[in-house]
Chain A
Amino acid sequence: MPTMAKLYSTRRLLCLLLIIFSLTIPLYVNSRFYLHILIICCIWAMAATSMNLIMGYTGQVNLAHGAFFGIGAYSAGLLILKLGFNFWPALILACAITVFLGFLIGLPALRTKGSYFAIGTMCFNVIVTVIIDSWEDLTGGARGLLGIPRPAPIPLPFGKEITFTSMASNYYLVLFSLFITILVVYRIVHSMMGRTFIAVRGNEELAESIGIHAMRSKLLSFLISTFFAGWAGVLYATYIGFLSPEISDYHVTFELLTYCLIGGLGTMIGPLIGAFILTISSELLHGIAVPRLVAYGFLLVIIMIFLRGGIVGGVRGLWLSFTRWGGR
């Protein structure tokens, strides 16, 4: 397979270039506005990549992902503001809380299949938002949580420390988190565990018949995806500094779903492309009165009917027909 090996190496080169490019962006972009957009993009890309693991690779349409994002964000906000936690323990504890709640809901919800799972998780999402909205003593209700501080500095030897006051340092923090998410999801998908996930996506009964514990695979995939959703939520909470119940709303879930589908579900790069293109375009079009969600709606319908693989699937199809045509 010489062509495969060659393709693989160009792909590696492209990845390397992309990493170098993303690392050097703060050197030549000084505008706070553009860095802000990139930070938001990275946070949404993280959430979309984690959603891709359960939805794209394991085939379970989890419509509670926005709820887990919100749970992570609110847990961190409350731990820091009400209990006076430092950022780093709060980050770990908030992710743990999110995974724990994910376990509690995943265990019963994953017994259901197909549309039932989608509806069940969506109801859970609504419940979470209503509870955050109504439990005013704890969450502040519709007034929201104000004044969540930025991440605490990391002390280094010789009296130095890494602070997170500048935009560039915040950018590096979310970029680092995004890298970890991609790396973990990539390693999982290309391991034996990922193959069992994909087998469950293909046909659950068949997978069980060859000895895969389908429930365990689904739960594991679900928990890993909630972990990163919670982490992204914590980063959002401390970067923006303000939380309102809308951050756990099912509209967030729908937007993440749109990112995954437009980029290409079940591909590594798809959710990243979707999140970056849609977040950047919606931030840049902020001043112009474009009914953004109406456009998303048309995009979703058109993609479901004509371009099931999203942008990545479309490009792949074009590339295939191009190489076939060129080979003749």
Chain B
Amino acid sequence: MSLFIQQVMNGIMLGSVYSLVALGLTLEYGILHIPNFAHGALYMVGAYFAFLLATTLGLNFWLAMIIAMISLALIGVLVERLVYRPLMLESPLSSFIAAIGLIFIFVDGALNIFGPDFKRFPPTHTQVFHILGTTITFQRIIIVAVTVALIVLLHFFIKKTTMGATIEATAQDREGAQLMGINVKRVRMMVFALGTALAAAAAALIAPIHLVHPGMGGPVILKAFVIIILGGMGSTPGAIIGGFMLGVVESLSGGYISTSYNEVFSFGVLVAVLAIRPTGLFGAR
């Protein structure tokens, strides 16, 4: 029983990270129709930013995370402006291929600058709690708490502020929003800033537990795509619930079956779902 609870706890921790990454991706894909495959690469860049800020500048964890989020938001805006804006009127596949180019640039750039070895984040928040016969480090509690806080903040931003309302209006009807005088280009930049900042937050949160390396974004982005296809394009509750579910399922299957076929399991689910419903579980058309 304690193994089960431990695995569920780990799953919730892992699911928080997936939720944050999927949330950013669902904003970009669901609202702007940009299959931003480079989202995982930006997640990796965020982890390196937080790592460098914490080790070379000796900043504390929170400051490193916030600066990493701000810098990644700026990088996200730049990527949108330089790469995706010129492809705005083309088919999404052009953006998809440009995103593959961005992955090459970021991942192999990081490989050349930082080397292929795994970096260990300085340990923070190492206090240990014992609940119901399980062991939980303080960092894991922080991950879940910060994720919940960020999700609540994002919800209020979209629902209660005018800027958030412009994003929602654009999601519902781009031409209509444009006719109402909403600057869609600004909305695009804002969505990218939010999405990549969320990815950076997820990366900074998980960095002290997992290791930082150039290839860390690949599996995460594929899982985020699995989540948003299963949870419905552009649906924020779908991304959040899907993220937590995938985290728990993966953790349980890793604990009881085997970890080496982890990816086969989650991607197999996606291929199977697409086979039955080609537009995703909640896809309209």
Residues of A within 8 A of B (CB): 61, 105, 108-109, 111-116, 118-120, 122-124, 126-127, 130-131, 134, 254, 257, 261, 291-294, 296-301, 304-305, 308
Contact = CB atoms under 8 A, between A and B. Distances in A.
Interface string B94-112: 1111101111111111011
Interface string B251-283: 000000000110110011011101100111000
B111 to A, nearest CB: 8
A118 B96 CA distance: 9
23 contacts: A108-B271, A115-B35, A116-B229, A116-B279, A118-B96, A119-B222, A120-B270, A123-B222, A123-B226, A123-B270, A126-B263, A126-B267, A127-B267, A130-B260, A131-B264, A254-B104, A257-B97, A261-B97, A293-B108, A294-B104, A294-B112, A297-B103, A299-B101
Given A131-B264, A293-B104, A108 B275 contact: yes
Contact of A115 (B83, B96, B103): B96
Contacts of A296: 101, 104
Given A291-B109, A305-B83, A112 B274 contact: yes
B123 interface: no
Contacts of B104: 254, 293-294, 296-297, 300
Contact of B274 (A108, A254, A291): A108
Nearest to B41: A297
B87 interface: yes
B280 A120 contact: no
B87 A305 contact: yes
B92 interface: yes
B181 interface: no
Nearest to A136: B260
Contact of B222 (A113, A126, A131, A134): A126
A304 B275 contact: no
Most B-side CB within 10 Å, residue of A113, A124, A294: A294
A115 B95 CA distance: 10
A130 B97 contact: no
A109 B105 contact: no
Given A116-B278, A130-B264, A297 B271 contact: no
Contacts of A308: 94
Instruction: Summarize B's interface: helix, strand, loop or mixed.
Output: helix
Given A112-B279, A122-B222, A297-B108, 6 more contacts: A113-B278, A119-B35, A131-B264, A291-B109, A294-B112, A297-B102
A271 to B, nearest CB: 15
B93 A298 contact: no
Provide the main secondary structure of the chain A interface: helix
Nearest to A111: B278
A114 B271 CA distance: 15
Interface in B107-127: 107-109, 111-112
Contacts of B278: 111-113, 116
Nearest to A105: B271
Contacts of B226: 123
Nearest to A122: B222
A111, A115, A261, most chain B CB atoms within 10 A: A115
A109 B271 CA distance: 7
B100 A294 contact: no
B61 interface: no
Given A130-B261, A293-B108, A298-B105, A61 B93 contact: yes
Contacts of A257: 97, 100
A305 B97 contact: no
A115 B112 CA distance: 30
Q: Which of B98, B101, B270 has the most CB of A within 10 A?
A: B101
Contacts of A115: 35, 92-93, 96
A120 B83 contact: no
A257 B104 CA distance: 12
Residue of B96, B102, B109 most packed against chain A (CB within 10 A):
B96
A177 B3 CA distance: 56
Contacts of A134: 260-261
Q: Give 10 nearest A-B pairs by CB, closest first.
A: A297-B104, A300-B101, A108-B275, A297-B105, A123-B267, A293-B108, A301-B101, A112-B278, A304-B98, A297-B101
Nearest to B258: A134
Nearest to A61: B93
Contacts of A120: 270-271, 274
A305 B86 contact: yes
Interface in B167-209: none
A292 B83 CA distance: 20
Nearest to A118: B96
Contacts of B111: 291
B263 A130 contact: yes
A116 B280 contact: yes
A120 B109 CA distance: 27
A221 to B, nearest CB: 17
Contacts of B268: 127
B225 interface: yes
Contact of A116 (B87, B112, B260, B274): B274
A301 B225 CA distance: 21
Contacts of B225: 119, 123
